[in-house]
Structure 1
């Protein structure tokens, strides 16, 4: 079985999309992460859900977690609203990791190795031109592995 056999179409965002939109796309799509595309529809970065969450949490709280206890419950539930209009590019900053991606012809072992090594529950699948052809989620990969049978 190859990546193209288990890849699915997933909603994506661009570097210019607001972080609020990115969070909504991930939540509504029940995605384990997000694929961020460049202007040519090529994966620019693949962000696991925890990284998307990290984009939404103001840096001051990440640097000093004791500050989180100073925010009352009502405001703690909507902390990310302050930055929801910032773009994905602004939240990622200058250091963007390489996208977690494979060619459509990648095997399940290649997918599993990449997901494990990169700690990413989402891998972009690209065609020969480098354009997004789909994505493989950890759930899809595990299901495919569980159903795979060795040839007799």
Structure 2
């Protein structure tokens, strides 16, 4: 049991160090491409009085460096901690379960929670497995699989 815990801890530290070594400018295009997956667009919240609801990324279990600027639906994407989510529940948010980025390819496993109702403790969730490849200076989604509460 102790060996298993130690191994898991070392893997998580390795992921955190690899992400910390990347600059916000290197990570931002990858995150943006993940949010821009065409099949994902229909799950985003509708406009209310012509104003789109903000999109949130929870900094757990993968945490991103400060200074990343992303936009979606004309609003800035907001990064929040797991404790901020518990204190102020939101209706839609991303949780990156893993993000393995190399110089020319990236894989990610992401949960997108939507239609969340904290009072009733109900939500819908998608798991998104995404592969990205770098062509020149641009990242492109080579494969995206959505599973879960699909429309």
Higher RCO, Cα 8 Å, sep 6+: 1
Relative to its length, the structure with more strand (as a share) is 2
TM-score by length of 1: 0.26
Structure with bigger gyration radius? 1
Relative to its length, the structure with more helix (as a share) is 1
